[in-house]
C-alpha cells in the first residue's frame, strides 16, 4: 500500500525558500533517508516508479504545488545549490512538460 500525505506549505512567510529549508531540515531529523524532487505525475505513480527500480521508499509527502515555470526554476536552482545531496532529478518521466499544461508538485520521499 502506498502511503501518501499532503503537507502543503500554506500560510508561510514570503520567503518560500527559507520555509522549504526548514521543512527539509525537519524531515531529515525525523527520517533515516529522504529525497526531494519534482513531478507532474500523481504521487502514487512517483513512489511506485522508484520502488520498481528496487528502491524501497515508505512514504511520499507532497509539499508544494508549483504553478509557473518561474517558480519551478527558482526551486530547481535552490535544490541544486542547497540540497544537491538529496535532490532527485525532476525528469523522472519522459513526459515532463515545462509548458505547464499540468501543475507540478514538489515532493519528499522518505525511508
pLDDT digits (tens, 9 = 90+) for 43-92: 888 888 888 888 888 888 988 888 888 888 888 889 989 998 999 865 45
At residue 101, the pLDDT reads: 75
Look at the pTM and tell me if it is higher than 0.95: no
HSE-CB at 100 with a 13 A cutoff on CA atoms is 11
Rounded CA-CA distance 40/96 in Å is: 7
Rounded CA-CA distance 54/43 in Å is: 17
Total structural domains within the chain: 1
| Residue 43 lies in domain | 3-110
Amino acid at each position: 500500500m502506498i502511503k501518501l500525505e499532503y503537507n502543503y506549505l500554506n500560510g508561510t512567510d514570503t520567503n518560500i525558500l527559507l520555509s522549504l529549508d526548514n521543512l527539509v531540515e525537519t524531515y531529515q531529523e525525523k527520517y533515516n533517508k529522504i529525497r526531494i524532487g519534482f513531478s507532474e505525475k500523481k504521487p502514487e505513480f512517483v513512489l511506485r516508479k522508484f520502488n520498481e527500480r528496487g528502491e524501497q521508499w515508505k512514504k511520499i509527502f507532497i509539499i508544494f504545488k508549483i504553478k509557473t515555470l518561474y517558480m519551478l526554476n527558482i526551486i530547481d536552482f535552490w535544490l541544486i545549490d542547497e540540497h544537491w545531496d538529496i535532490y532527485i532529478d525532476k525528469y523522472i518521466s519522459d513526459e515532463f512538460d515545462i509548458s505547464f499544461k499540468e501543475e507540478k508538485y514538489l515532493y519528499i520521499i522518505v525511508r
